[in-house]
Structure 1
């Protein structure tokens, strides 16, 4: 089972990544753009999903395309939540208890890539 510390370790390796405390928990940004966050049971979240978010650790990440989010939900509906809030799409939220460390690192890195400027992506890829 992955933890926020595991997410933190991955985010710390990404150029320009910054962790911030927010009203809903912790969140990670690159050049001021949100790419990963701890989900909070806001009233705007559907009741069934809010129950999950209120009782276990759920993380949201940006994705490149809504189709990517849908594919993850269809692939593992017990891990990936169908929706949280309508804001900040495209994104996907997942139960940390159902994610292994390798998949967590992939999700966080891909989310960072969605938001990071080209020069930081090149730096990370070693092309700078």
Structure 2
């Protein structure tokens, strides 16, 4: 089971990532582009995805761990219930979110 401390540790381990508040909660950015933030609802993480369709597919594939709300319906974000994710799963979805926002040269260097 993952938690906020795991989010912070894993996100900040990604290249050129900084923590900066976003909507009043801790957000994680690469080159000032938000890729993840802790939601104001405890135990929930907001993650950037490549597209709205990808976010919808992830939520449909594992609705226990991932979900969407009307607020995010037109945006490429998915929400994750941290208690439903193993730490390695959290690392994977954070890396995917980071890759969406990281510049191509940085993605290539970090492979």
TM-score above 0.5: yes
Q: Tell me the equivalent position of 2:48.
A: 62
Encode CA deviations 1:3-58: one digit per residue, 9 max, x unaligned: 12111222222111001134431010011100000112xxxxxxxxxxxx3xx310
Unmatched tracts of structure 2, length 5 or more: none
Closer/same/farther in 2, CA of residues 86 and 76 from structure 1, 3 Å limit: closer
The answer to whether the aligner puts 1:10 opposite 2:10 as a matched pair is yes
Residue number among 98, 106, 109 corresponding to 1:112 in the alignment: 98
Q: Quick check: 1:29–1:36 contact (8 Å CA) kept in 2?
A: yes
Residue 87 to residue 117, structure 1, CA distance change in 2 (3 Å)? farther
How many positions carry a matched residue from both structures? 111
**Residue of structure 1 equivalent to 2:19:** 19
- The aligned residue for residue 33 of structure 2 is 33
Q: Contact 2:37/2:45 (CA < 8 Å) preserved in 1?
A: yes
TM-score by length of 2: 0.89
1:82 aligns with 2:65: no
Which residue of structure 1 lines up, in the alignment, with residue 84 of structure 2?
98
Residues 59 and 84 from structure 1, CA distance in 2 versus in 1: closer, same or farther, beyond 3 angstroms? farther
Contact 2:47 2:79 in 1 (8 A): yes
